[in-house]
Amino acid sequence: MSIVITGATGLMGSLFLEALTREQPKAEVHCLVRPDSDRSIINSLALKLYYSVGDSSTPQNWESLLSEKTLNTIIHLAQLRHVPVILDSLKKAQQWPRLIIIGTTGVYSQYNQYSQDYEQAESTLQTYRGSYCLLRPTMIYGSHRDKNLHKLIKFCDRYGFFPVFGSGNCLLQPVHADDLAKALLSVLLNPNIKGSYDLSGGTVVTFRELLALVEKLLEKPVRPLYVPYNLGLGAATFAEKILGARSPVRREQILRLQEDKAYSHEAAQRDFGYEPRSLEIGLAQEIEILRAEGII
Ligand SMILES: NC(=O)c1ccc[n+]([C@@H]2O[C@H](COP(=O)([O-])OP(=O)(O)OC[C@H]3O[C@@H](n4cnc5c(N)ncnc54)[C@H](OP(=O)(O)O)[C@@H]3O)[C@@H](O)[C@H]2O)c1
């Protein structure tokens, strides 16, 4: 198989390559990485890895790659919004490899600043002449490399409280990065898996229940500090205006905390045996990693 992957150096990409190493240690994979990407995480794997340096949002990078190779599969993990660029380049090259794309359940959000771009990328994907599989994870967790939960755990561990904007009753269903890596491998190894799948975690919790679970697993008190929704929204808007990207909390985050983010993964369970771990097990594993790394 001639496989090209983007996002190989990221959390999901590196775990996926580890899973592939266990299943097919002799596989050859071509990684499209940025000039500053830290390849050390994946270089130690037994796989035969080849690198092209470039950006997956740039047509020239795809065009030069496609002029050198006939691709069998593209696994695009870097960013759903790059899909139209990839499809244009494939059309020019008249190549129709299988596409495995990581999207996001953020496409369903009323408040995500990119949800329209995601919708557009998804509808472009539906016009693809070849076969594709789109996997939409919910919030990804699992280690100090995740974007969300490790920060919450660290804050709770250090300060013994966490702000809850509004009622804290909105639903969440975070997914463990290892479960996603396993799902990605199942999809790669089964060419009959096509279409779109939501990949959520094994447990649905409210934000308050999430904090209670973190308290239980850290074995120290974590008090919810309730902040009225409008006050939180106003403060985040102000902080963003003053501090820009350095603001500790964004307006969009507060808005999205009022949305339920639980999605069924029944279709993935039925079609490729997707069985995500429970949040309690996954968080206990993450806390163990954070302790081992000296982060908490
Ligand atoms: N984090 C979440 O909660 C979440 C939820 C749903 C969906 N997703 C999606 O899941 C995918 C993987 O997530 P992750 O947590 O593994 O992300 P990650 O750890 O941040 O890794 C992102 C990877 O994509 C690469 N990348 C980013 N922009 C690129 C570009 N323009 N050109 C080439 N490579 C680029 C990064 O390269 P460098 O090493 O150079 O940075 C890195 O290897 C992403 O598409 C993300 O949007 C994430």
Average pLDDT over all residues of the chain: 96
* Ligand 1 centre distance from Cα of residue 79 (Å): 6
Q: Is the pLDDT confidence value at 1 over 70?
A: no
Which atom of ligand 1 is the closest one to the Cα of 105? 6
pLDDT, position 253: 87
Q: Is the CB of 14 under 6 A from ligand 1?
A: no
Q: Is the pLDDT of residue 112 over 90?
A: no
| Ligand 1 centroid from CA 8, angstroms | 9
The closest-lying atom of ligand 1 relative to the alpha carbon of residue 13 is: 16
For ligand 1, whether the C-beta of 45 sits within 6 Å is: no
Phi, psi of 33, rounded to the nearest 5 degrees: -125, 155
Regarding the beta carbon of 139 and ligand 1, being less than 6 Å apart is answered yes
Other Cβ atoms less than 10 A from the Cβ of 160: the count is 13
Q: Which residue's alpha carbon is at the smallest distance from atom 20 of ligand 1? A: 10
- The model's pLDDT over 141-184, given as tens digits with 9 standing for 90+, comes to 999 999 999 999 999 999 999 999 999 999 999 999 999 999 99
208-242 pLDDT, tens digit each? 999 999 999 999 999 999 999 999 999 999 999 99
Output phi, psi for 109, to 5 deg: -75, 145
Which domains are seen in the chain, by residue range? 3-137 (3.40.50.720), 139-175+201-262+277-296 (3.90.25.10)
Strands, E, within the chain: which ranges?
3-6, 28-33, 48-53, 73-76, 98-102, 132-137, 140-141, 161-165, 171-172, 175-176, 195-199, 205-206, 223-227
pLDDT on residue 245:
87
Å from CA of 77 to ligand 1 middle: 6
Q: Does 202 contact ligand 1 (Cβ within 6 A)?
A: no
DSSP reduced 3-state for 249: coil
- Residue 5, pLDDT score: 98
Ligand 1 mutation target, pool 4, 6, 117, most atoms within 8 A of CB? 6
CB 13 near ligand 1, within 6 Å: yes
Q: Is the pLDDT of residue 113 over 90?
A: no
The model's pLDDT over 229-280, given as tens digits with 9 standing for 90+, comes to 999 999 999 999 999 989 888 899 899 889 999 999 999 999 999 999 999 9
Is there an atom of ligand 1 within 6 Å of 143 CB? no
Task: Kindly tell me if the per-residue pLDDT of 82 is higher than 70.
Answer: yes
CB 23 within 8 A of CB 90: no
DSSP for 218-247, please give it. HTS--EEEEE-HHHHHHHHHHHHHHHGGG-
CA of 7 to the centre of ligand 1 (A): 6
Q: Give the residue, out of 11, 32, 41, 53, with the most ligand 1 atoms within 8 A of its beta carbon, to mutate for a pocket test.
A: 11
pLDDT > 90: what percent of the chain? 93
Tell me, what's the pLDDT at 236?
92
Give the H or E element holding residue 129: none
Ligand 1 centre to CA of 119 (Å) is 18
* 163-174 confidence digits (pLDDT tens): 999 999 999 999
Closest residue by CA, ligand 1 atom 45: 79
Best mutation site among 99, 102, 152, 253 for ligand 1 pocket (most ligand atoms within 8 Å of CB): 102
With beta carbons less than 8 A apart as the criterion, state whether 276 and 186 touch.
no
pLDDT of residue 248: 85
CA 78 to centroid of ligand 1, rounded, Å:
4
